[in-house]
Amino acid sequence: DPFAGDPPRHPGMRVNSLKPFNAEPPAELLTESFLTPNELFFTRNHLPVPAVDPRSYRLRVEGPGGRALSLSLPELRSRFPKHEVTATLQCAGNRRAEMSRVRPVKGLPWDIGAISTARWGGARLRDVLLHAGFGERRDGEWHVCFEGLDEDVGGAPYGASIPYGRAVSPDADVLLAYEMNGEELPRDHGFPVRVVVPGVVGARSVKWLRRVAVSPAESPSHWQQNDYKGFCPSVDWDTVDYRTAPAIQELPVQSAITQPRPGAAVPPGELAVKGYAWSGGGRRVVRVDVSLDGGRTWRAAELAGERPAPGRAWAWVLWELRAPVAAGAELEIVCKAVDASYNVQPDTVGPIWNLRGVLSNAWHRVRVTVAR
């Protein structure tokens, strides 16, 4: 069993697949705290968790125009200043289950919990690349490719890439993280070193990082080339051509209701509706609108979160709306967020449906009854 060496996990996680391990925290726990506790942080593994000996661990950095580095863990920690960033990671497949209700899609049936937030600590990727002699700018199209220590049966590692400009930008805060919420990285989240690319789809934040390579081409990995891309609703598995769509990087604006849960019977009186909202690319969430009547009337929710630097809103906001509800009422609670570019969420799933079930960010709807 290639998964026999996987670490123990929190029994409260909602498991979507055991081998490889894929799990999300229950929705009501997700917004209990601004930072997600490490043991409740959603886990998205494509392969078995590699067993890494931190004493022999080396990170290789290479590519044309720079010198090759081989960094031990103590070297990574001591040669580069530790930088801390609070960032939300979201899987491209978050809320896929809602898409499957329109028409079945291929992928793990994530509910609304394939998103979590942590305070990450590590070396800036920028500092490591500049130390290796790579420049602030590069003419033409360049990418920074990442490889994990986890390999498929054919020996191919998990891999992904980001554009060079994001990797070296001092404002993009891309980290080679060795800490998560003040602790060393847990094994499920990439021990001993992972990439954290704030504002970008989780798939690019490569865990168990073994190699960073500057390259004129995107990562050749399956997960960069033939997955994590969006398509027209009419494209099916007979007609899909992965070369025609760009790899997902920054994600669209997103929000969801974590409380109450669908089908709940809530007491009459004052109802507290809670949830999260987040947008990609560092775009701050400026407003969350909530409706209790299926979208006919709306009120703006109270937002709570950190005060981010402009264009660097890497973390979600948690929101809450309190409203009186009458005994016996049937409510359709709806939320939708607006980001700093006034991007909004689509009202229904149908027009954004895609065969892989990614980028599912329609208005979130939760039906509840108010008890008598």
Binding residues vs ligand MTE (CB under 6 A): 41-47, 89, 91, 148, 150, 158, 189, 202-203, 205-208
Judged by beta carbon distances under 5 to 8 A according to partner kind, the member of Mo ion, ligand MTE, none in contact with residue 287 is: none
- Residue closer to ligand MTE by CB (options 187, 284) is 187
- Residue closer to ligand MTE by CB (options 219, 259) is 219
The distance of closest approach from Cβ of residue 96 to ligand MTE in the complex, given in angstroms and rounded to an integer, is: 12
The distance of closest approach from Cβ of residue 358 to Mo ion in the complex, given in angstroms and rounded to an integer, is: 9
Contact 245, 232 (CB under 8 A): no
Judged by beta carbon distances under 5 to 8 A according to partner kind, the member of Mo ion, ligand MTE, none in contact with residue 260 is: none
Q: What backbone phi and psi angles, to 5 degrees, belong to 224? A: -95, -40
Judged by beta carbon distances under 5 to 8 A according to partner kind, the member of Mo ion, ligand MTE, none in contact with residue 199 is: none
The distance of closest approach from Cβ of residue 224 to ligand MTE in the complex, given in angstroms and rounded to an integer, is: 11
The distance of closest approach from Cβ of residue 108 to Mo ion in the complex, given in angstroms and rounded to an integer, is: 9
- Residue closer to ligand MTE by CB (options 117, 258) is 117
Contact 140, 193 (CB under 8 A): no
Q: Which residue is nearest to Mo ion (CB)?
A: 91
- Residue closer to ligand MTE by CB (options 100, 181) is 181
The distance of closest approach from Cβ of residue 189 to ligand MTE in the complex, given in angstroms and rounded to an integer, is: 4
Contact 248, 92 (CB under 8 A): yes
Query: What CA–CA distance (Å, rounded) separates 294 from 306?
Result: 30
Which residues here bind Mo ion, judged by CB under 5 A? Answer: 44, 91, 202-203
Q: Tokens standing for 110?
A: 């994530």
The distance of closest approach from Cβ of residue 262 to ligand MTE in the complex, given in angstroms and rounded to an integer, is: 24
The distance of closest approach from Cβ of residue 104 to ligand MTE in the complex, given in angstroms and rounded to an integer, is: 20
The distance of closest approach from Cβ of residue 58 to ligand MTE in the complex, given in angstroms and rounded to an integer, is: 16
Judged by beta carbon distances under 5 to 8 A according to partner kind, the member of Mo ion, ligand MTE, none in contact with residue 275 is: none
CB atoms within 10 A of CB 127: 17
Sign for the CA dihedral angle at 287, 290, 294, 296 comes to negative
Query: What CA–CA distance (Å, rounded) separates 144 from 129?
Result: 10
Q: Measured in whole angstroms, how far is the alpha carbon of residue 153 from the centre of its chain?
A: 26
Judged by beta carbon distances under 5 to 8 A according to partner kind, the member of ligand MTE, Mo ion, none in contact with residue 206 is: ligand MTE
Task: Fill in the amino acid letter for 17.
Answer: S
- Residue closer to ligand MTE by CB (options 202, 305) is 202
What is the secondary structure of 285-337 as a DSSP string? EEEEEEESBTTSS-EEPEEE---PPTT---S-EEEEEEEEE-TT-EEEEEEEE
- Residue closer to ligand MTE by CB (options 39, 332) is 39
The distance of closest approach from Cβ of residue 268 to Mo ion in the complex, given in angstroms and rounded to an integer, is: 40
Contact 227, 201 (CB under 8 A): no
Query: What CA–CA distance (Å, rounded) separates 51 from 49?
Result: 7
- Residue closer to ligand MTE by CB (options 205, 259) is 205
Alpha helices in the chain (DSSP H): 27-30, 73-79, 96-102, 125-131, 164-168, 222-225
Judged by beta carbon distances under 5 to 8 A according to partner kind, the member of ligand MTE, Mo ion, none in contact with residue 191 is: none
DSSP letter at 79?
Answer: H
- Residue closer to ligand MTE by CB (options 148, 280) is 148
Judged by beta carbon distances under 5 to 8 A according to partner kind, the member of ligand MTE, Mo ion, none in contact with residue 150 is: ligand MTE
- Residue closer to ligand MTE by CB (options 45, 291) is 45
- Alpha carbon of 271 to those of 43, 115, 123, 291, 293: distances in Å? 31, 25, 44, 12, 14
Residue 356: which of 222, 223, 237 has the closest Cα? 237
Judged by beta carbon distances under 5 to 8 A according to partner kind, the member of ligand MTE, Mo ion, none in contact with residue 113 is: none
Task: Fill in the amino acid letter for 180.
Answer: M
Which region holds residue 118: left if phi is over 0, alpha if psi is between -120 and 50, else beta?
A: beta
Judged by beta carbon distances under 5 to 8 A according to partner kind, the member of ligand MTE, Mo ion, none in contact with residue 197 is: none
